[in-house]
Amino acid sequence: MTAQVRLAVVGLVHDHVWNMLPQFRDTGQVRFVAAVDQNAALAQRAEKEYGFEALLPDIDGLWSYKPDAVLCCTANSDTAAVAEACAARGVPLMIEKPLAANLAQARRIAGAAERSGIPVMCNWPTAWDARVRHAIELARAGELGDVYTLRYRAAHAGPREIGCSEYFYSWLYDAERNGAGALMDYCCYGAALACWLLGEPTAVTGVRGRLVKTDIPVEDNAILLMQYPHGFGVAEASWTQAGARPGGLQVLGARAGLLVERGQLWRVDADHPDGAAVEVPALPGDSRNGPTAFLAGLRQDRPAWGLCSLEVALAAQRVLEAGLLATRSGSAVPPGSL
Q: How far apart are CA 68 and CA 88, in angstroms?
A: 13
Q: How far apart are CA 211 and CA 215, in angstroms?
A: 11
State whether residue 235 is helix, strand or coil. Answer: strand
Confidence (pLDDT) at 1: 52
The per-residue pLDDT string of the chain (338 residues; one tens digit each, 9 = 90 and over) reads 557 999 999 999 999 999 999 999 999 999 999 999 999 999 999 999 999 999 999 999 999 999 999 999 999 999 999 999 999 999 999 999 999 999 999 999 999 999 999 999 999 999 999 999 999 999 999 999 999 999 999 999 999 999 999 999 999 999 999 999 999 999 999 999 999 999 999 999 999 999 999 999 999 999 999 999 999 999 999 999 998 778 899 999 999 999 998 789 999 999 999 999 999 999 998 889 999 999 999 999 888 889 999 999 999 999 999 999 999 999 999 999 99
Confidence (pLDDT) at 304: 81
Residues in the chain: 338
State whether residue 217 is helix, strand or coil. Answer: coil
Confidence (pLDDT) at 243: 82
Confidence (pLDDT) at 18: 98
Q: How far apart are CA 211 and CA 236, in angstroms?
A: 14
Confidence (pLDDT) at 184: 98
**Burial per residue of 99-126, b for 16 or more beta-carbon CB atoms within 10 angstroms, e otherwise:** bbbbbebbbbbbebbeebebbbbbbbeb
Confidence (pLDDT) at 247: 87
Q: How far apart are CA 294 and CA 306, in angstroms?
A: 12
Q: How far apart are CA 333 and CA 206, in angstroms?
A: 9
Domains within the chain, CATH numbers bracketed: 5-125+286-309 (3.40.50.720), 129-283+317-337 (3.30.360.10)
Angle (deg, nearest 10), helices 17-27 and 290-300: 50
Q: How far apart are CA 52 and CA 89, in angstroms?
A: 21
User: By the 8 A CB rule, do 297 and 303 touch?
Assistant: yes
Confidence (pLDDT) at 158: 97
User: By the 8 A CB rule, do 295 and 278 touch?
Assistant: no
User: By the 8 A CB rule, do 256 and 143 touch?
Assistant: yes
Confidence (pLDDT) at 2: 55
Nearest alpha-carbon partner for 48 in 69, 23, 18, 74: 18
- What's the predicted TM-score (pTM) here? 0.96
